[in-house]
Amino acid sequence: MGTQTKIVVIKGKEIIYTAIFLLLGICLIILLVNMFGSEKKIKTETTGKYIPGVYSSTITLGENTLNVSVAVDKDTISGVTIENLNETVTTMYPLLEPALNEINNQISVVDNVDEISYSKENQYTYIILNQAIKNALEQAKKNP
C-alpha cells in the first residue's frame, strides 16, 4: 500500500484565462458596489431647502406677460430677474425695476421672502413680485 505521487499538469493558457476572469469578476463587483452605494451620497447632497436651479413664474401686467426668474442654491436664493421686460412695461410701471432691485438687495440678507421690507407707496408692486417669487420657490421645493 504505497502512496503514489500524482502529477497534475496545468496549461499556461488556463491559468491566464482564470486570472483574467477573476479580475473581471472583481471589477464587476466593485462597479456594482459603487453604482448602488452612490445613491446614498446623492440623497444627502440634495438635502437643503431648495433644489438648485432657476425657476420661473409669470405675472400679467395689463396686456404684458412677464417671467419672474428666481435662481436658487441649496439653501439660499441667489437672485431674482424679470424677463420680457421692455420699454413699454417700464414706462407704464415705473416702480417695477426699483422694487426688483430692492428685493435683490434684501434677498441675500433675509431667510424668508416674507421678511422683505417695503415702503407703503410701493406695496402693490412688492406684493405682486413677492407672490411671483413664492410661486417660483414652490417649484424649487417640489421639483425632483
pTM of structure? 0.63
Q: pLDDT by residue for the chain (144 residues), tens digit each?
A: 568 888 888 788 888 999 999 999 999 999 988 888 766 555 545 566 788 889 999 998 888 888 999 898 888 888 888 888 888 888 888 888 888 888 888 887 777 788 888 878 778 888 888 899 888 888 888 645
Helices (H), 1-144: 12-45, 87-92, 96-107, 123-142
Apex 5 CA angle, 3 and 8, nearest 5? 145
Residue-wise pLDDT tens digits, 84-105: 888 888 888 888 888 888 888 8
Backbone φ, ψ for residue 135 (5° rounding): -65, -40
Q: Return d(Cα 123, Cα 121) in angstroms, integer.
A: 6
- Rounded Cα distance, 58 and 44, in Å: 32
Query: Would you state the pLDDT for residue 18?
Result: 92
pLDDT of residue 104: 86
pLDDT of residue 109: 79
C-alpha cell at 135: 410661486
